[in-house]
Amino acid sequence: MDKLKVNDMKEIFKLISSRMDENRDYLVELDSKAGDGDLGISMSAGFRAVLKSEAMTMESFKRFFMNAGMAINEASPSSLGTIMFMGLLGGAKKIADYEELGSFELGQFFEGWTEAIMTKTGSKAGEKTILDAVLPATESLLSSSNLKDGIRLAYEAAKNGMLSTIEMKAVHGRAAYYQEKSIGLQDGGATVGMLIFQAFNEYING
């Protein structure tokens, strides 16, 4: 598989939804340690909502991602549910008129995704968030020459990025209240980021 069409993306979102369901309790546990413990519930509900939403009938990337973002946010208006909305909207704008996505184009989508979140919430790399998984993965996509390699490397990068959050100090969200105590804990949002690329990799390489 060289390029992703909208229908591929719908299949990938089904896989993401399964990942979130499978890791529901794990994400709850991560979020409980320095948060309110709803992350698994909200991500599982959020992606399930996409599968039941109008997004699944849309024929352009732009409309698919916009509707998916709205559905996630409606079902799960928690921080990460809203960040997903921001990201999907930002990514959708970047690739609005593309009909298919290779590694570079998917990289552009996640570039729009991360930029929107950073602009809107003032967060950046190294602050123990989902960005720490998604930013390095985006780099891998942008610098790879084909989708299979790009996704494989992106998944690796997301995994490492997720692990790198363990040593970081939280700056955003509820975890920030825990200050130094947040060091040593893996960020739940970054774990969600990793799971998303795991789903991409499974579809494309797997």
Ligand X SMILES: Nc1ncnc2c1ncn2[C@@H]1O[C@H](COP(=O)(O)OP(=O)(O)O)[C@@H](O)[C@H]1O
Please choose which of Mg ion, another protein, ligand X, none residue 187 contacts, taking the beta carbon within 5 to 8 angstroms, the exact cut-off set by kind: ligand X
Site for another protein in 109-128 (CB under 8 A): 120-121
70 binds, among Mg ion, another protein, ligand X, none (CB under 5 to 8 A by kind): another protein
- Report the distance separating Cα 158 and Cα 29, nearest Å: 20
Does the protein bind ligand X through residue 55 (CB under 6 A)? no
What is the C-alpha separation between 14 and 8, in angstroms, rounded?
A: 10
Q: CA-to-CA distance for 186 and 202, rounded, in angstroms?
A: 23
Q: Which is nearer to ligand X, 113 or 200 (CB)?
A: 113
Query: Which stretch, 5-13, 129-137, 153-161, 196-204, contacts ligand X (CB under 6 A)?
Result: 129-137
The tokens 């690329």 sit on which residue?
197
74 binds another protein (CB under 8 A): yes
The CA–CA distances, whole Å, from 169 to 35, 38, 83, 127 equal 14, 20, 20, 7
- Told to check if 45 binds ligand X by CB under 6 A, we report no
* Of residues 62 and 159, the one with the C-beta less far from another protein: 62
Rounded Cα distance, 157 and 118, in Å: 19
Q: What backbone phi and psi angles, to 5 degrees, belong to 97? A: -105, 15
C-alpha atoms less than 13 angstroms from C-alpha of 173 in its C-beta half-sphere: 26
| 156 touches Mg ion by CB under 5 A | no
Question: Rule CB under 6 A: is residue 79 a binding residue for ligand X?
Answer: yes
138 makes contact with ligand X (CB under 6 A): no
Closest alpha carbon to 133 in 192, 49, 205, 83: 192
What does the binding site for ligand X look like in residue numbers (CB under 6 A)? 31, 35-36, 38-39, 42, 78-81, 83, 117, 121, 123, 129-131, 172-174, 187-190
Binding interface with another protein (CB under 8 A): 32, 36-38, 70, 73-74, 77-79, 81-83, 85-86, 120-121, 172-174, 176-178
